[in-house]
Chain A
């Protein structure tokens, strides 16, 4: 039985807690995370599909805090080579989770190429059920979200 998207998100936030800084990928994933954890330290990366792990790596090598990246299967594949750089750098405070629903959900649910069971630099791939569209959009403007993130440093 696959986890629901919400249960997968809870699992990650339960593991890393309120002190960590989260970088979350574009699409329904960020909406679902906002609806569950509106007050956590989260950067919602709205554009730049596939590059959330890169932002996470830059943060991780520049500070001592735990950096948790949550991205999707399609986004991982778009910039898969990043996983090698993350492995090479080996930052101990960087954690990359992939929520794998097997499709490009927010643009129409089209099938995504299947992932392998693991990748270098990826902490865990969590397979989830296809889910309903989250009703809440992330209400933060780009500027507000960004300002909030900068204030953490």
Chain B
């Protein structure tokens, strides 16, 4: 789905705080968060975003973690050691980069990686109509 649709989905799911590391595929998604002035923490590493979201969920909030698929490597540890064992699994919105050489391999395996560890609460965003067309 396009990133704007991903954003609408987070509104339907009553997300009340967004935490993530910016991605060009999610430019519209992140701009919407800022335009509406929604609670938003920009992290410097995707693993931090997952840990922050975990804390938010424990305290009763509904967080959304956004990241580029290249950040999946950074979140395997908190997903496998923290979120999955405790069944506190924040929604992930992941920019599905796959066209450039450095993104191709991860673009091929990103969803398989999440399936392998048994994480189910994610959606992939294909960017905005403009950059998907490129």
**A-to-B contact residues, CB < 8 Å:** 23, 43, 45-49, 51-63, 79, 81-82, 84-85, 88-89, 142-143, 146, 149-150, 153
Query: CA of A51 to CA of B81 in the docked complex: distance in angstroms?
Result: 11
Query: CA of A48 to CA of B41 in the docked complex: distance in angstroms?
Result: 20
Q: Which of A45, A46, A62, A82 contacts B17 (CB 8 A)?
A: A62
Residues of A within 8 Å of B78, CB to CB, are 47-48, 51
Interface residues on B, range: 20 to 34
Query: CB of B43 within 8 A of chain A?
Result: yes
Residue of B17, B48, B78 ringed by the most chain A CB atoms within 10 A: B48
Query: CA of A89 to CA of B40 in the docked complex: distance in angstroms?
Result: 10
Residue of A23, A48, A56, A79 ringed by the most chain B CB atoms within 10 A: A48
Instruction: Say whether A149 contacts B85, CB under 8 Å.
Output: no
Q: How close is B71's CB to chain A, nearest CB, in angstroms? A: 13
Instruction: Say whether B82 contacts A51, CB under 8 Å.
Output: yes
Residues of A within 8 Å of B57, CB to CB, are 58
Contact mask for chain B residues 36-52; partner A; CB cutoff 8 A; 1 contact, 0 none? 00010111110111111
Query: CB of B15 within 8 A of chain A?
Result: no
Interface members, chain B 15-72 (any A CB < 8 Å): 17, 19, 39, 41-45, 47-61, 63
Q: A51-B51, A55-B55 are in contact. Are A62 and B45 (CB under 8 A)?
A: no
Instruction: Say whether B58 contacts A82, CB under 8 Å.
Output: no
Residues of A within 8 Å of B81, CB to CB, are 46-48
Query: CA of A21 to CA of B53 in the docked complex: distance in angstroms?
Result: 17
Q: How close is B74's CB to chain A, nearest CB, in angstroms? A: 10
Instruction: Say whether B51 contacts A146, CB under 8 Å.
Output: no
Instruction: Say whether A153 contacts B77, CB under 8 Å.
Output: no
Residues of A within 8 Å of B54, CB to CB, are 54-55, 58
Residues of A within 8 Å of B80, CB to CB, are 47
16 A-B contacts, Cβ less than 8 Å apart?
A48-B47, A54-B48, A58-B19, A58-B54, A58-B56, A61-B41, A62-B55, A62-B58, A62-B59, A62-B61, A82-B43, A88-B42, A142-B86, A149-B58, A150-B58, A153-B58
- Nearest B residue to A62 via CB reads B59
Q: Which of A58, A84, A85, A142 contacts B55 (CB 8 A)?
A: A58
Residues of A within 8 Å of B17, CB to CB, are 61-62
- Nearest B residue to A64 via CB reads B59
